[in-house]
Structure 1
Amino acid sequence: MDKYPFLKKAGSLFKDCHVTKVGDLTKTWTGQTIKGPALIGAPLSKSSISHSGACFAPGSIRQALGGISAYSAELREHVTDHLYDLGDIDIHVTDIVKSHEHIYHTIHGLLTDQPDWVPFVLGGDNSISYSTVKAIAQTKGTTAVFQFDAHHDVRNTEDGGPTNGTPFRRLLDEKVINGQNLIQLGIREFSNSFAYEEYVKSHQADVHTMEMIREKGLVQTIQEVLPAVKKRADSIFISVDMDVLDQAHAPGCPAIGPGGLYTEELLQAVRFLAQEAHIAGIEIVEVDPTLDFRDMTSRAAAHVILHALKGIKLSH
């Protein structure tokens, strides 16, 4: 088509030859050995106890991520040279338990074959955490989870089965993780119950409410917790429920509310944790593009990924 130099592929965006976007560095995985971070989608939202279009989030987060510059002004280099995308895990049309099994077996199998892979899991609702953490714990040894969340997510399973409110109860009940190795950050006022607060306390989970974080600071809180965690655990997994952010910063979450974290606080914390040598991966859950405004929440999630990549880069 050299005869028509101004004719472009439909949907082509403006291209600046001096800007490298994350999308330019993202490659479809075709079975190569993976060393370091790579994306994988877990588009499940049927297990949500409220309306949720979180099944669309892997696509919206990828789109937001792909359009952002990969260059870090602080590092004075790109946060990654290449980023593999493994695609999406197949979700059963109606069976939630089967969907959880698909997620678990896929991540577990990939980690067994690709032990140097650091999964960057794009949810999906929070129910996927049961499968992702279980796969990590069974392949990476004793696992500590830093859970950024407004909610404890330890609802009983009798009332509704394995929902997006139950993953950490299932993990604790099945002893996949030890309560002391569950660090909950950002638990918000008027978002939980006495019974579930007592449950996490009975399992000795390390709970940090928004009031506590406002008093001390998020990164400082993590700095104080980390030395003891590293003595107990072989690996660290980061679970980010985007509703940990204040509703002004993340309107595209099913369970928004005031009084949450600011985006910059979350980004700093993720970057700090990702610098740890034994970081086993990160998941982002509870983004609903159907509720979002100007893709604010998907863009925030994309920046969480970028700051995790930056933290890993800083550690090398």
Structure 2
Amino acid sequence: MTTFTAPPDWEPTSSDPNDEQFGDVVESATLDTASDYDVVLVGEPYDGAVIGRKGAADGPAAIRKSLAGVKTHHFDAGPVSNIGDLGDVAIPTGGGVAQVQDAVAETAAAVHETDAFPVFLGGDNSLTYANVLPLLDLGSVGVLNFDAHLDCREVPESGPTSGTPYRQLHDAGLDAYACVGARHFETSSAYDDFVRRWEAHVRLAEEVGDDPIDSVDKAVGSLGDVDSIYVSVDVDVLDAAFAPGASAPTPGGLTTRELFRVLRLVAGDDRLAGFEIVETAPKLDRDGMTVDAAARAVAHLIAGWSA
């Protein structure tokens, strides 16, 4: 059964009448009205699968609050508009991670069936599996994952975790996978071997720093001629200095400016079928840095997609 909690009231923060903000343009939506919008936001307040530090369940509310005060104007794309908010997915209680994934996948399927472009606000990385799974029934799919980690761990007997979504998607038939922003000493040799056997593409954070345009071009090119591309951003792709409120912050990552740039570049691909931002944990943040970066990553992706 597909259910959402009511979306929040979006309120701008500026008193200047010329300052149009996301709080001015985002409207409450339902599945019945979703196709009236270009973009719909979907909150996924869940962190039951996080391997390390908890807190990502509070991500959707915090990202919305920050985004409400972000101005709508992009210098190249102009002002963004026509955005609906479906509210938060009703997360089932009392079951394990696999049961949550199944329930969220049912809801994600209903969202993908609308004509709007879905933006999922996480929540932890385990729900990537649920968000992408319905797309596999619609044609060939590639995932472009901006992440410090490969997240292709074997699923333990206790059930999936935030580190298993791409192993699960591989086993479900995902056609292509590329990770951008991976870091030395942040994965195990066994998982590197796994993605190499899969012929997946990995671009290191230092390679993005050297040439972000080339890195994105090669990553997207590695996905081949898939019918659709799903973009995932784990905020730990950012250097810990820019994202202290990630579930697993580490040094050596992308800058916020690099992330925003590569998101605008990839957003121009007309095969994009969905976007998510995950692992933002507000209670672990410092001065709202991570939340603000996540909110603006959403804004840059929407602007690039709308252009």
Residue 218 of structure 2, aligned match among 208, 213, 224:
224
Matched, 1:20 2:20: yes
Cα distance, 1:137 vs structure 2 = 2.5
| CA deviations over 1:80-139 (Å, ceiling 9, x no partner) | 2x2100011011223222211121001102322x1x221100010000111111122223
TM (norm. structure 1) is 0.88
Tell me the equivalent position of 1:111: 112
Q: Distance in 2 between matches of 1:287 and 1:199?
A: 27
Q: Distance in 2 between matches of 1:34 and 1:14?
A: 27
Q: Secondary structure at the match of 1:86?
A: strand
Tell me the equivalent position of 2:155: 157
Q: Is the 8 A contact 1:90 1:99 kept in 2?
A: no
Q: Distance in 2 between matches of 1:41 and 1:133?
A: 15
* Matched-pair identity in %: 34
RMSD (CA atoms): 1.7
Aligned length: 294
| CA deviations over 1:247-266 (Å, ceiling 9, x no partner) | 01111012101100111111
Consecutive unaligned residues in structure 1, runs of 5 or more: 1-10
Query: Cα–Cα, structure 1 residues 12 and 228, in superposed 2: closer, same or farther, change >3 Å?
Result: closer
Q: Distance in 2 between matches of 1:102 and 1:190?
A: 34
Tell me the equivalent position of 2:241: 248
Please identify, of 60-69 and 200-209, the stretch whose mean Cα deviation from structure 2 is larger: 200-209
Q: Which has the larger radius of gyration?
A: 1
Cα distance, 1:225 vs structure 2 = 4.0
| CA deviations over 1:47-86 (Å, ceiling 9, x no partner) | 11112111100000000000111122334x3122x21000
Structure 2 letter corresponding to 1:272? L
Tell me the equivalent position of 2:53: 51
Please identify, of 157-166 and 195-204, the stretch whose mean Cα deviation from structure 2 is larger: 157-166
Runs of 4+ in structure 1 off by over 4 angstroms are 11-14
| CA deviations over 1:232-283 (Å, ceiling 9, x no partner) | 2001110100000000111101210110011111111111111111111100
Q: Is the 8 A contact 2:129 2:168 kept in 1?
A: yes
Structure 2 letter corresponding to 1:108? A
Q: Is the 8 A contact 1:41 1:123 kept in 2?
A: yes
Tell me the equivalent position of 1:3: none
Tell me the equivalent position of 2:207: 212
Residue 290 of structure 1, aligned match among 283, 287, 294:
283
Q: Is the 8 A contact 2:209 2:258 kept in 1?
A: no
